[in-house]
Amino acid sequence: MTAEQHFQVALRLGDDAMILGQRLAEWCGHGPVLEEDIAMSNIALDLLGQARGYYSRAGALEGLGRDEDQLAFFRTDQEYRNHLLVERPNGHFGDTMVRQFLFDAFSLERTQFLANQTVDEDMAAVAAKAVKEVRYHFSHSSQWMLRLGDGTEESHRKVQQSLDDLWPYAGEFFVADDIDEAASLAGLLPDLSHVAHAWHARVSEVLIQATLQKPTTTWSQRGGKHGIHSEHLGFLLAEMQVLPRTYPDAAW
Partner 1 sequence: MSTSAKEWPLWEIFVRSRQGLGHKHVGSLHAADAEMAITNARDVYTRRQEGVSIWVVPASAITASSPDDKEPLFDPANDKVYRHPTFYKLPDEVNHM
Sole window of 27-35, 84-92, 116-124, 227-235 interacting with partner 1 (rule: CB under 8 A)? 27-35
* Residue 42 beta carbon to partner 1: minimum distance, rounded to whole angstroms: 5
From the CB of residue 214, how many other CB atoms can be counted at a distance below 10 Å?
A: 11
Binding to partner 1 (CB under 8 A) within 91-110 occurs at none
Determine which residue in the list 10, 19, 39, 176 makes contact with partner 1, applying CB under 8 A.
Answer: 39
What letter does residue 79 receive in the DSSP assignment? G
* Residue 39 beta carbon to partner 1: minimum distance, rounded to whole angstroms: 4
Question: Applying CB under 8 A, does 5 fall inside the site for partner 1?
Answer: no
Question: Applying CB under 8 A, does 42 fall inside the site for partner 1?
Answer: yes
Which is closer to partner 1, CB of 47 or CB of 61? 47
- Report whether 105 contacts 186 (CB < 8 A): no
Determine which residue in the list 29, 33, 64, 153 makes contact with partner 1, applying CB under 8 A.
Answer: 33
- Report whether 43 contacts 99 (CB < 8 A): no
Alpha-carbon span 72 to 237, nearest angstrom: 9
Main-chain dihedrals φ then ψ at residue 28, nearest 5 degrees: -55, 120
Which is closer to partner 1, CB of 55 or CB of 138? 138
Please report the sign of the dihedral spanned by the C-alpha atoms of residue 69, residue 71, residue 75, residue 77: negative
Count the residues in the chain.
Answer: 252
Which residues are within 8 A (CB) of 201 and not within 5 positions of it... i.e. 6 or more apart? none
Sole window of 19-27, 37-45, 74-82, 113-121 interacting with partner 1 (rule: CB under 8 A)? 37-45
Q: Which of 113, 110, 106, 126 shows the shortest CA–CA distance to 61?
A: 126
Question: Applying CB under 8 A, does 143 fall inside the site for partner 1?
Answer: yes
Question: Applying CB under 8 A, does 36 fall inside the site for partner 1?
Answer: yes
Sole window of 33-41, 164-172, 194-202, 216-224 interacting with partner 1 (rule: CB under 8 A)? 33-41
